[in-house]
Structure 1
Amino acid sequence: MSQETYELKAEARERVGKGSARELRRNGMIPAVIYGDKQAPISIAINTNEVTKRIHAGGFMTTIATINVDGKKYQVLPKDYQLDPVRDFTMHVDFLRVSRDSQVTVAIPVHFENEDKAPGIKSGGVLNIVRHDVEVHCPANAIPEAFTVDLTGKKVGDSIHISDVTLPKNVSPVITDRDFTIATIVAPLVAVEDEATETVEAEGEEKSED
């Protein structure tokens, strides 16, 4: 499971639009919306510092939260947030309502372990990560914190596919039409460059002989 749930206090907001959003941000608040579960969306304002702390703490997009809107509580899952491209502060957050029976789609980070037990890496090979996270369907109350890939015994040329990852019960990848690659162990870049150089030199010698 992801980190423990947490609660954020929020205020309902009646005014929407760019002018209202700018005013909120000047006052240390962020405009946000709660939507989904076949109910009307609710526009809210939440404390900038509180949300920013949660985002930087990690697991923000995979942790169920409780939002207290003027005394009424909603179980939600963050679905998106926008950062200012210049100053990098949070500008807006979207929250999806969830219930005990909700199924959600989330991107779960992939962690790798036992690199020191992978012959391919010990001999100078490089772990080439194709996917840093995997998008899955899962119950809202059972979102995995991360998927762990064991690199023990992996050699240069080996690939790790989604079929090599043990998924928890009721968790399935969004991509189902292929056994997609998560990572590969490739030869050291220096070795590849040396091989390319040797090929070019050999071709040059052949031309000279002609």
Structure 2
Amino acid sequence: MRLRSWTRCGLLILATAPALALAGLGTDEADEPKPRAVLAGHTAGIYTMAQSHDGKLLATGGDEGRIGLWELPSGRLIKQFQAHRQRVSGLVFAPDDKTLVSVSFDTTGRVWELPSGRLLTELKDHTDRIGTVALSPDGRLVATGGFDHRIKLWDAKTGRELAVMNGHGSRVSVVSFLADGKTLATAGHDGAARLWDVAEVLGR
């Protein structure tokens, strides 16, 4: 079992390749979680997932490069589509839940319109697999971290590369904007975490 998370509607998500289970917990502490729904549709392992901010959607990303969109809390499949050529390694919803950003081991990031799944723009310039992604609180900036040791900032609307940071000596495992959007935190397999001033990085 690779993924475990709580939905905003109080369900526990348990992921086992290639399906998810939504579990409602009993009142007795001795009760084991009982699946409320099984979200089956991927043809390979589910590697990553994200919840919409309003708690009504769950996005899943699989090893086969597909993205699934599921209704919560029912678990009904709304749409599934081929998003990448390789594993989907990260997903994040925009603050307004109208778009979804995905990154992949195929070295690209992509921005999708929801719920149609229409491709809006592509983020292309990492030289190795992308393993992590984050959106700024205002939804304007995308941050990606790659196996090429680089962190990149992109315009979420146009896909234009805005900045490159080379502060890690190994692959970047986590990127996260702080709540005010002015600082980006990154962590890598070099054993270090770093804080970046977003305005300074962008030369503003």
TM-score between the two structures when normalised by the length of structure 1: 0.28
Structure with the largest fraction of helix: 1
Q: Highest Rg: 1 or 2?
A: 1
Structure scoring higher RCO (CA < 8 A, sep ≥ 6) equals 1
Structure with the largest fraction of strand: 2
